Amino acid sequence: MATKLSVNLNAVAMLRNRRDLPWPSVTGLGRIALAAGAHGLTVHPRPDQRHIRFSDLPEIRALIDDEFPHAEFNIEGYPTDDFLDLVEEHQPEQVTLVPDDPAQATSDHGWPFERHGNFLKPVVARLKKGGMRVSLFADPEPEGLEAARATGADRVEFYTGPYGSCHSDSEKAAKELEKLGKAADAAVVLGLGINAGHDLTVANLAPLVRRVPKLAEVSIGHGLTADALEYGMAETVRRFLRSCEG
């Protein structure tokens, strides 16, 4: 079964927010992505609403429910009380918990699970009680994955930024890919599902899928949105879906 593709809409929202205008439409481009075969939509609503706005969430939820009922909504964020209230209101199929400072430009590291396990465990339990799958953002290291499993989470999402940054250095990319592969192997042994995301492209996604055959889902925003400016959203989604097949 091919790895599923969730399209992250944050970059689309950030472009929209440059003007006090309703375009580009976050839901409009989400609709095109899903119609082209994407399996879901991802957003990361930060407290300052610098890209995805809280008002986008009910519209995306309605888009999926009304037009693409087999697609999934994935909401990422740091588990403050406000964030947890937000996801409980909009009922995504998956919640991805990240250890971001609110001021961070983007997610750039995983949870230190052994240090934050006691903090995460009741959060995970609360979300799962609400019927949501929980994924935890993780560095690609086997160490700490047992502590991640002990939180009760369903999946880990491996941070692929270091791998993505090797776009012009094939030797370094191979090393980072193997690092991801070994972490994924350890996650499989522990019974954790595997997601991945950050700086993935059409070119580097296929090797990742081949090395991590149990990769359940990738969430891709920046590279996919950049390609959409050149190829259009529908064709870009199709290109990424082909890479998801390895």
Taking Cα atoms as reference points, which of 54, 59, 58, 72 lies closest to residue 8? Answer: 72
- Say whether 76 is catalytic: yes
User: pLDDT tens string for the chain (246 positions)?
Assistant: 789 999 999 999 999 999 999 999 999 999 999 999 999 999 999 999 999 999 999 999 999 999 999 999 999 999 999 999 999 999 999 999 999 766 655 656 899 999 999 999 999 999 999 999 999 999 999 999 999 999 999 999 999 999 999 988 999 999 999 999 999 999 999 999 999 999 999 999 999 999 999 999 999 999 999 999 999 999 999 999 999 999
Count how many domains the chain has. 1
pLDDT for residue 102: 64
Between the alpha carbon of residue 169 and those of residues 6, 94, 162, 174, 181, the distances in Å are 27, 34, 12, 9, 18
- Say whether 198 is catalytic: yes
- The residue range of the domain holding 234 is 4-244
Taking Cα atoms as reference points, which of 75, 63, 59 lies closest to residue 22? Answer: 59
Angle between helix 56-67 and helix 81-90 axes, rounded to 10 deg: 30
Instruction: Catalytic residue, from 44, 51, 90, 116: name it.
Output: 44
Task: Give me the residue label for tokens 């059409």.
Answer: 202
pLDDT for residue 107: 59
Instruction: Catalytic residue, from 76, 157, 176, 217: name it.
Output: 76
Please calculate the CA angle 97-103-104 and round it to the nearest 5 degrees: 60
143: domain CATH number is 3.20.20.70
pTM, to two decimals = 0.96
- Per DSSP, 152 falls in state T
- Say whether 90 is catalytic: no
**Both tokens assigned to 30:** 């989400």
**What whole-number distance in Å separates Cα of residue 193 and Cα of residue 187?**
7
pLDDT for residue 44: 96
Instruction: Catalytic residue, from 39, 72, 198, 217: name it.
Output: 198
